[in-house]
Structures are given as C-alpha cells and as structure tokens.
Amino acid sequence: MKIVVLVKQVPDTTDVRLDEKTGNLIREGLESIINPDDRHAIEAAVRLKEGRSGRVTVLSMGPMQAIDVLSESIGMGADEGILLSDKAFAGADTWATSFTLGKAIEKIGLFDLILCGRQAIDGDTAQIGPQVADYLRIPHVTYVCDVEEVKKKTITAKRRLENGYEQVRCALPALLTVIGELNLPRYPTMDRLIHACREKAPIKVWNAADVGVQTRQVGLEGSLTHVIKTFAPKFKREGEILNGDTKVVVHELIERLKKSEGATACKAFSSTCKL
C-alpha cells in the first residue's frame, strides 16, 4: 500500500499572536513542531504499512527548516520525505498550496491513500485536504477518527460529527483528513532519527521546476485570494460585582440589562424567573 502523508511545520502555539503593524505572525521565542493533527496521520500511515507491505512518503511545503518535520516523521516510521521549497512558493494561499502539493503528488506517482491532518493550528482553514483531493479528482473523507477496514479497492472509516459518528466507505485511491481521536502517535526512535539526519537521508528537496510549475502559478502570484489586513480582535473585559441582598441585587441587574443591548434576552429571563 502506497501512502502519502501531508505534514506542515507550525509554530508551537495555539495562541497565534500578530504584529499589529505588519499583520505578520510573531514567531520570536516559538519552537516549530509538526502540526498536531499530522502526527496522528503519520501514526495511522505507519500502522497501515506495518499490517501489510507498503511505503509511506511524507510531503511538506515550506522553508528549508521544515526538513525537521520530515526527519521527525521518518523517526516515527515513514520511509521517505519530500520537501517542496522554493522562493516562488512563498505567500501561497490555500489554493496555491493545494495546487503545489497536488503537482508534487502527481510526480510521486501511483498511490493508494493520502492522509493529512484535519486542520493546521496556525492557518486554521482545514481547506488543504479537500482541495488536494479535488485537484487530484479523488474522493475524500474528513474528520476521520477510526480507519475500520482497508481492502484492495475500498476503505471504511468512521468520522466524527457534531452529535455522533458516521461510517463511510469510499473507493481507493482516496484522501482522509484525520483528528486526534484516531490514535496515540508514537515517539520517534533514536536510531530512526539518526538515519533521517544522515547525509544519505531519504529526504529530497524539490523546487518549482522539479514539480513542473511556473512561478506565476504558485506562491503569492498564483494565489486567488489576497489578504488585505490581518489583526487580532481586541477583547475588553469590564467586570462589575453587585453586592448586597440577593433580591435587591437581582432586580438591579435586571433593570440594568433592560437598558442595555441584552434587553430582549432579559425580558425572557425575568418572565421565566417570575421575579
């Protein structure tokens, strides 16, 4: 079984802070890690390979330092890594990112399954998986929390919904986006990490020419969306504690709410409580 896993290097934080002037992410003091969902995708791929013969290729697009996430993936059991790195890829929106990843997968050749995380903790769009599947014209299943059965031509997966689960069978090749509930990712082993960091490590770096794309098709130039402004919302917390006899205080609160924007909600509240 030939599996391609998409992995993204992200800053080690869910509290993404932005520079107010430039709108750029503040990266100072932040470590880079494999996007958390992607670790579950790697674990799933390695388990699927262990149960049958196969090959796991991890693919990432990013700056040269993203090679670290490929080494770590190989440390966890992936067979090879490919980094898409080129100045031309910089500033890509999700469409240009998916297009570039799709082109690289076409170059990798025949595959049975593509696994990726549901969502990256920095970009947060959850668009890459479905967009890559669309580019490759293959079916995709999102929010996968269990891979129940893999046959030669089909895969059965359980996906998490807001109020339950859904069991889905689809034809292979397919793409799954996975969530943390799927498995417990293993730690990389020391011998495999050393193997991944050796001079003859099974990691390739491909540029725009290698994947057969022109500069105008990728990166900022190839992006269909343009970010006008990026900013964090300002939260203002102004609390006031009303002290005193409960009945008096509750009435005072209701009177104040009536005068505020929440007047309609307050009406419903006071009639329910019969105060």
Ligand X SMILES: Cc1cc2nc3c(=O)[nH]c(=O)nc-3n(C[C@H](O)[C@H](O)[C@H](O)COP(=O)(O)OP(=O)(O)OC[C@H]3O[C@@H](n4cnc5c(N)ncnc54)[C@H](O)[C@@H]3O)c2cc1C
Q: Residues 118, 110: contact at Cβ < 8 Å?
A: no
Rounded Cα distance between 149 and 155, Å, is 6
Q: Residues 232, 110: contact at Cβ < 8 Å?
A: no
Closest to ligand X by CB, 48 vs 92, is 92
DSSP string, 177-228: EE-GGG--PPPPPHHHHHHHHSTT-SEEEE-TTTTT--GGGSHHHH-S----
Does 80 sit near ligand X (CB under 6 A)? no
Site string for ligand X, 124-153 (x = CB under 6 A): xxxxxx------------------------
Does 22 sit near ligand X (CB under 6 A)? no
The residue within the footprint of ligand X, chosen from 48, 61, 147, 208 (CB under 6 A), is: 61
Does 227 sit near ligand X (CB under 6 A)? yes
Q: How far is the CB of 236 from ligand X (least distance, A)?
A: 28
Closest to ligand X by CB, 69 vs 155, is 69
User: How many residues touch ligand X (CB under 6 A)?
Assistant: 32
Q: Restricting to residues 27-46, which ones interact with ligand X according to CB under 6 A?
A: 35, 37-38
Q: Which residues of the chain form beta strands (DSSP E)?
A: 2-6, 9-11, 32-34, 55-61, 80-84, 113-117, 140-150, 154-161, 164-171, 174-178, 203-206
Does 180 sit near ligand X (CB under 6 A)? no
Closest to ligand X by CB, 120 vs 266, is 120
Closest to ligand X by CB, 179 vs 266, is 179
Closest to ligand X by CB, 163 vs 225, is 225
- The Cβ-side half-sphere exposure at 62, using a 13 Å CA radius, reads 22
Residue length, the chain? 275
The residues of the shown chain that bind ligand X, judged by CB under 6 A, are 6-8, 35, 37-38, 60-62, 90-94, 97, 101, 116-117, 119-120, 122-129, 223, 225-227
